[in-house]
């Protein structure tokens, strides 16, 4: 299937690994010149991206710098994928509401919501000029918050609502905005023993390997497995393409059937 996006440009945040890297690779394979933004520039990202920006996207200045450098590198922005998110395991409490202080709320919202607000605000003039598209990577936690760290589901719910607001405002001006909401993805966030998966395993009294083996069942996935980053990336590439020209303001769940509501 020809997606019709060869020669376009894109900014992908959180592109160094996991879903963001898979999105960068998928878009590059379709002929898109991708500017990959990440706190750490990995060799894999260097290979796939037309340009890279090492940046902390949890700050307003960092988001503005990404867009400025992207426009300088590729001449303008057709597509924006606000993928950066999650949380720093070392700064994260796995306790309840009363165990989680203001620092956690602020850090989680800055990375999972405000990074998208700031990056979109900076990139939007170029995207409007080119009548491009935006995809925000949210989470099924936005719909089913039980079990996620305090603040994470709330920030993702706000991100999903931001996508809907932007779509309502921008669709008449030729810009499409959609959301992709994965369940648990077999990315380094979970597979790295130093990531959230390792921290949850330790808190549960399980080995990291045992937790990964049990995750599909614990999440209630109908498919019996976790989603692969490449599967999320393929969905994002489709939503950015001309093949999805009349898809506006939709939240696309990709979770192996874990979400049981209609």
In DSSP notation, 97-153 reads: GGG--HHHHHHHHIIIIIHHHHHHHHHHHHHHHHT-EEEEE--GGGT--TTSPTTHH
**pLDDT value, residue 232:** 98
User: Higher pLDDT residue, 161 or 2?
Assistant: 161
| Nearest partner of 56 among 115, 122, 103, judged by Cα | 115
**pLDDT value, residue 126:** 98
Which class for 76: exposed (0-12), middle (13-18), buried (19 or more C-beta within 10 A)?
A: middle
Cα 262 to Cα 257, 258, 259: the distances in Å are 11, 11, 8
Report pLDDT digits (tens) over 164-219.
Answer: 999 999 999 999 999 999 999 998 888 888 877 887 778 778 889 888 988 999 89
Structure tokens at 91: 């700064």
Contact 150, 104 (CB under 8 A): yes
Domains of the chain, each with CATH number or no CATH: 9-184+228-254 (3.40.50.720), 186-226 (no CATH)
Does the CA dihedral 109-55-21-187 come out positive or negative?
negative
**Which residues are part of the catalytic machinery?**
152
Strand order in the sheet with 51-54: 51-54, 33-38, 9-13, 79-82, 133-137, 176-182, 251-254
């Amino acid at each position: 299937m020809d997606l019709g996006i060869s020669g376009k440009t894109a900014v992908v945040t959180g592109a160094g690994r996991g879903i963001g890297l898979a999105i960068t690779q998928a878009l590059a394979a379709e002929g898109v010149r991708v500017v990959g933004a990440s706190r750490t520039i990995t060799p894999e990202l260097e290979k796939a991206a037309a340009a890279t920006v090492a940046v902390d996207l949890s700050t307003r200045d960092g988001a503005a710098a990404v867009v400025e450098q992207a426009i300088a590198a590729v001449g303008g922005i057709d597509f924006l994928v606000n993928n950066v998110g999650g949380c720093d395991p070392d700064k994260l409490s796995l306790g309840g509401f009363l165990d989680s202080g203001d620092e956690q709320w602020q850090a989680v919202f800055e990375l999972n919501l405000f990074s998208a607000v700031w990056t979109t605000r900076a990139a939007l003039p170029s995207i409007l000029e080119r009548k491009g598209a935006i995809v925000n990577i949210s989470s099924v936690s936005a719909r089913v918050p039980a079990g996620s760290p305090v603040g994470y589901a709330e920030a993702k719910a706000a991100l999903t609502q931001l996508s809907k607001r932007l779509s309502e405002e921008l669709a008449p001006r030729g810009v499409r905005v959609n959301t992709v909401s994965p369940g648990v993805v077999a990315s380094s966030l979970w597979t790295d023993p130093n990531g959230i998966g390792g921290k949850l395993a330790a808190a549960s009294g399980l080995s990291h390997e045992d937790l990964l083996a049990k995750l599909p069942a614990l999440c209630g996935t109908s498919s019996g497995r976790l989603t692969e980053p490449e599967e999320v990336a393929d969905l994002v590439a489709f939503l950015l393409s001309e093949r999805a020209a009349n898809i506006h303001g939709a939240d696309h769940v990709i979770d192996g059937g874990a979400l049981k509501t209609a």
